[in-house]
Amino acid sequence: MNTKDFQPEIFKLFDDQWGILTAGDKDAFNSMTISWGMLGTLWCMPHKGKNVCAVFVNPARYTYGFMEKSDYYTVSFFDNKKYQKALGIMGSKSGRDMDKAKASGLHPKISGAWRDLRRSRDYFCHPENLPP
């Protein structure tokens, strides 16, 4: 998805929907629910602006290690009611202890450098898009 085509109500996204953060690669990854984050545009040259996504993850979280080792991460947003059970698993269980993708039914789909979770709308994020 081109980030210019993604036109959410930004404040409602993190407040009213469940976000899933996924980091890692096709062989080893983890996903977790998130409710803290930002979407926006940073000024940069030579372009007018650069779309960015920032999330905040406690270093004690299992996903944090995958973020540290990965160049990319994905943030996906889901309908709370439709995916409540799957999101509950993603938000209450640790990937250290179980295969959350298998248990939740939300399986990664690898496409080039993109990772997204099926049945979701994703916002592609890369660390170089974030401020230092």
The tens digit of pLDDT for each residue in 14-71 reads 777 778 899 988 788 999 999 888 887 777 666 677 777 888 899 999 999 999 998 7
pLDDT tens figures, 95-125: 999 999 889 988 777 655 444 433 333 444 4
Buried b (16+ CB within 10 A) or exposed e, 83-102: beebbebbbeeebeeeebbe
Alpha helices, DSSP H, located in 1-132 = 10-16, 62-69, 84-92, 100-104
pLDDT tens figures, 78-100: 877 888 899 899 999 999 999 99
pLDDT at res. 122: 41
pLDDT at res. 71: 77
Question: What is the separation of C-alpha 95 from the centre of its chain, rounded to a whole number of angstroms?
Answer: 15
- Pairwise pLDDT comparison (130 vs 93), residue with the higher score: 93
